[in-house]
Chains A and B, each alone.
Chain A
């Protein structure tokens, strides 16, 4: 069997993720969290987890449910766990965010929501790790993009283990010295493994496959891509190894962090060269909007890496960590996420509505489900606001940041509306819209009678 199944719950993951993104954008517009509050403030932690868990992690999980089978060429194992995982994650992340809000004194919630939310979130991710790890295990030997996903999943496990510890410490439920040491010193590891490992490294791996697939570029595994994987995996492995070193009080942690950072920077440099090669080597002359919009994300990753190097050389990491994390989170990860959603949503919608009609009657192309000229404007506005907001953070100008976040909120909501129009088949020529008497697809729930592929 060669086929992959159409993931039933991916659209639901995307819908939940986009709602969390819109909430996060509203928080930034209202000045809830950094830069109005300090970077360590509970308000900022609420904002960071709304974006990193609610938006980016749910988006990544939904995308992996659809694309891990494509990466390994076999169906997903235990697909029935996708829905309970989604429910646990939405409940858990909401609890976690409200727990941080309670720590900020901004609501009448109990701080116990923090460990509750963390536990439920870990349970949700645990189910997903079981699904993906089982699928990958059964597909050995893994192709290179899937090996990136495997390392990303390892990073996720380490990230949520650290995060769970912090939640219990911050809620006052754990006062062991080891847990307190980890909370005081391990926060950067938590962020590095989450943003750098789970979200970025996995995105890099999937992008190798998706970009070559959508642009018809040469698909063979390159030595340079293997080096990116090896360096990235080594960097993340070193970061993870620092956790037991903190617990045992071992010396040499700073040196190891520097080595990991250097390996990570070199990996990103080689990765960017690979990406340029993929774009230049494409057979498809016309670059579709998802790939064009992705260029902004790659530019943001490049700028963030150069910015990180400049901060490290000048010894000003702590001063610049805010704009750096913003650029990675919004420029790179959010930009790439929105760009690829612009392809994945119509693709899944086409499969749902027109796949069974293929060859029986005229069907639209996937591209007929979108209007690129309209969406291109909103992508341009999105990246403009990322540039302005990053500059505002560098200049410590909270007002400018809030104004640019308002622009970003508008751009994100306009793109969200484009996704809804795609799901509603609004852009499809009327003669092809609902041919064969097929009903309009649900906005974000799967069809009740799913069609499984053999």
Chain B
């Protein structure tokens, strides 16, 4: 995959992930800064690294599964792998302006 194609796919995935709204915060998980990294590899293999606002949040598994499903359905993605991390831990400073105004 060419670098430009890869960047385009990352953007499409990021846009798709904006459909997932954190139920408590009421803003999408991209603007909240919960998506740390989207890595595209050859063959349409996508690795998403994400976090949640707090470690141990009861909604964690639902959010992770939602991200997995959402990425899977983006055209160009053959396989999606979602990794949950708390390094670094999420802080409110990671939110985009759009989410800060909640």
Question: Are A366's CB and B20's CB within 8 A?
Answer: no
A74: shortest Cβ distance to chain B, in Å? 7
Q: Given A70-B57, A213-B54, A454-B61, are A365 and B21 also a contact pair (CB < 8 Å)?
A: yes
Q: A283-B95, A358-B65, A367-B26 are in contact. Are A213 and B20 (CB under 8 A)?
A: no
Q: Which residues of A contact B69 (CB under 8 A)?
A: 359-360
Contacts of B66 in A (CB 8 A): 358-360
Cβ contact of A216, chosen from B57, B61, B92, cutoff 8 A: B92
Q: Is the C-beta of A9 less than 8 angstroms from some C-beta in chain B?
A: no
Cβ of A355 within 8 Å of any chain B Cβ, yes or no, is: yes
Residues of A within 8 A of B (CB-CB), count = 39
What chain B residues lie within 8 Å of A355 (beta carbons)? 23, 59, 62
Q: Judge whether B53 and A213 touch: CB under 8 Å.
A: yes
Give the Cβ gap from B68 to chain A, nearest Cβ, in Å: 8
B98 → A minimal CB distance (Å): 13
> B44-102: which residues lie under 8 A (CB-CB) from chain A?
52-63, 65-67, 69-70, 84, 86, 91-92, 95, 100-102
Question: Which 5 A-B pairs rank lowest in CB-CB distance, beginning with the nearest?
Answer: A359-B66, A453-B61, A283-B92, A355-B62, A73-B56
Q: What chain A residues lie within 8 Å of B39 (beta carbons)?
A: none
Interface residues of A in 188-239 (CB under 8 A from B): 213-214, 216-219
- A residues engaging B (CB < 8 A)? 2-6, 66, 69-74, 213-214, 216-219, 283-286, 347-348, 350-351, 354-356, 358-360, 363-367, 453-454
Shortest CB-to-CB span from B88 to chain A, Å, is 12
Shortest Cβ distance from residue B92 to the other chain A in the assembled complex, whole angstroms: 4
Contact B56 A351 (CB under 8 A): no
Give, as a whole number of angstroms, the nearest-CB distance from B27 to chain A: 9
A selection of 6 A-B contacts at a CB cut-off of 8 Å is: A70-B57, A284-B102, A358-B20, A358-B65, A358-B66, A359-B19
Q: Are B100 and A351 in contact (CB under 8 A)?
A: no
Size of the chain B interface, CB-CB below 8 angstroms = 31
Known: A219-B91, A365-B21, A365-B26. A66 touches B58 (CB 8 A): yes
Beta-carbon contact of A5 and B58 below 8 Å = yes
A363-B21, A366-B24 given; name 17 further pairs at CB < 8 Å: A2-B55, A70-B57, A70-B58, A72-B56, A218-B91, A219-B54, A219-B91, A284-B102, A348-B58, A354-B23, A355-B59, A356-B62, A358-B63, A359-B67, A359-B69, A360-B69, A454-B61
B58 contacts A351, CB within 8 Å?
yes
Min CB distance B26 to A, Å, is 4
Q: Within the complex, which residue of B53, B62, B65, B86 is in contact with A2, where a contact is CB–CB below 8 Å?
A: B86
In the complex, what distance in Å separates the CA atom of A453 from the CA atom of B55?
A: 14
**Residues of chain A lying within 8 A (CB to CB) of residue B23:** 350, 354-355, 358, 363-366
CB distance from A428 to the nearest CB of B (A): 12
Is the beta-carbon distance between B60 and A2 smaller than 8 angstroms? Answer: yes
Contact A69 B61 (CB under 8 A): no
C-alpha gap A355/B24 in the complex (Å): 11
Contact assessment for A3 and B65 in the assembled complex, using a CB-CB cutoff below 8 Å: no
Tell me whether B102 and A4 are in contact (CB under 8 A): no
> If A351-B62, A358-B65 touch, does A2 touch B56 (CB 8 Å cutoff)?
yes
Q: How far is the CA of A359 from the CA of B59 in the complex (A)?
A: 13
- Determine whether the beta carbon of B102 is less than 8 Å from that of A69: no
Please give the distance in Å from B47's CB to the nearest CB on chain A.
17
With A and B bound together, what is the CA distance between A347 and B63 in angstroms?
Answer: 14
Contacts of A367 in B (CB 8 A): 26
Closest to B92 in A: A283
Residues of A with C-beta under 8 A to B59: 351, 355, 358
Contacts of B63 in A (CB 8 A): 358
Among A3, A73, A214, A356, residue most surrounded by chain B Cβ atoms (within 10 Å): A3
| Minimum C-beta distance from B64 to chain A (A) | 8
B61 touches A3 (CB 8 A): yes
Whole-angstrom distance from the CB of B50 to the nearest CB of chain A? 11
Most buried by B among A66, A284, A358, A367: A358
Q: B56 touching A69 by the CB < 8 A rule? A: yes
Nearest CB in chain B to that of A354: its residue: B23
B53's nearest neighbour on chain A, judged by CB, is A213
A363 to B66 CA separation, bound complex (whole angstroms): 12
Q: Are B67 and A71 in contact (CB under 8 A)?
A: no
* A residues less than 8 Å from B95 (CB atoms): 283
- Flag if A359 contacts B20 (CB, 8 Å): yes
Shortest Cβ distance from A70 into B: residue:
B56
Complex: A69 Cα to B101 Cα, angstroms: 29
Partner of B54, one of A5, A6, A70: A70
